[in-house]
Amino acid sequence: MRSRMLTATLAVLVALAAFGSAFVVETTEYAVVTRFGRPTRTYTTPGLHFRVPLVDQIVRMDARLLMTEPPMAEYLTLDKKNVVARIFLTWRVGDPLRYLQTVQLRDAAEARLAAVTSSEIGAAFGSVPFETLVSTDADKMRLGAIVDQIEQRVRDTAAREYGVDVVSLRVERLAFPQQNEASVYQRMRAERQRIAKQFRSEGEEQALKIRAEADRERARLLAEADRKAAEIRGQAEAEAARIYADALGADPDFYRFVRTLEAYDKIVDKDTTVILPADSPLMKGLLGAPGAGATR
């Protein structure tokens, strides 16, 4: 009975030892085994591992892609313009041992990264004019290249100093400092007013042009019509004259006689006073003896 108790106790102790010595490294983490505080082994791949209980300590750290957003900060460009930038970094632990020795905790790592980032951005932004960060001119705009350069410098420092692998550093937002906003809005408003004015004067100009063109076209059409009409009338007169000439030329004296009579008909009206000689052919017929009439 006593031996049975002993074996049972032993079995429990062995089980506890096995349980205490086995540990799992998850796929989301790295583990460093330290013996009396000194790192002895590093595990960067997941799996089941063993240690000496009580003697070996396990330090775990996140192996995943982590994101850090340093506080938004104001920077000064080469041409003394203030710009606020929100940065974010994605990073992971690159060298667990170095990470453990230098920063140990995530908060510390993030604080160091923020400091390095801030100073690198300050240096990079301070050496370029504002229009390389924000510009519609593709030749001047170099934001991408500048950020890549900052990223590279932060990556080098972080890897060397803290065992941190900076995957990316990007500018999430650019803005003006709050105290500059009023003047920016003022400028935006003025710009819009200028554009609105331009649209309206363009409209007036185009409208005037269209109206003037229409007026000119109208005048041209009417002048052309007048010219054609005059031409047609002229032709008509010419043709009529030719017809008259042809017909009347055959007997010009008789025509003159007939035409003269017609002219009398038109010239004489009710206010006309006519003096007739008594011996005119008309009067002779009335006053003189019959048969005394003569032609003309």
- Nearest residue (CB) to another protein, 38 versus 217: 217
**Which residue lies nearer to another protein by CB, 156 or 239?**
239
Query: Cβ distance 71 to 85 under 8 Å?
Result: no
In the bound state with another protein, the residue whose beta carbon lies nearer, of 55 and 294, is 294
Q: Which CB atom, from 35 or from 192, has the smaller least distance to another protein?
A: 192
Let me know if 284 is exposed, middle or buried by CB neighbors in 10 A (0-12, 13-18, 19+). middle
Do 99 and 127 contact (CB within 8 A), yes or no? no
Helix axes 106-126, 143-162, angle to 10 degrees: 140
**Distance between first and last Cα of the chain:** 188
DSSP three-state, residue 250: coil
Question: Toward another protein, which CB reaches closer, 85 or 116?
Answer: 85
CB of 36 to another protein, least distance (A): 26
Q: Least distance (Å) from another protein to the CB of residue 90?
A: 6
Residue with Cβ nearer another protein (66 or 128): 66
8 A C-beta contact, residue 150 and residue 117: yes
Residue 81 CB, shortest distance to another protein, in Å, is 9
Task: Return the SS3 of 257.
Answer: helix
Return all residues near 174 (Cβ < 8 A) that are at least 6 apart: 83, 84, 85, 133, 134
* Coil, helix or strand at residue 24: strand
Distances from the Cα of 219 to the Cαs of 41, 130, 211, 231, 232, in angstroms? 100, 58, 12, 18, 20
Of 38 and 220, the one with the shorter C-beta distance to another protein is 220
Whole-number minimum distance, CB 64 to another protein, in Å? Answer: 5
* Least distance between another protein and beta carbon 74 (Å): 12
Rounded least distance, CB 127 to another protein, Å:
18
We find the least distance from the C-beta atom of residue 10 to another protein, in angstroms, to be: 17
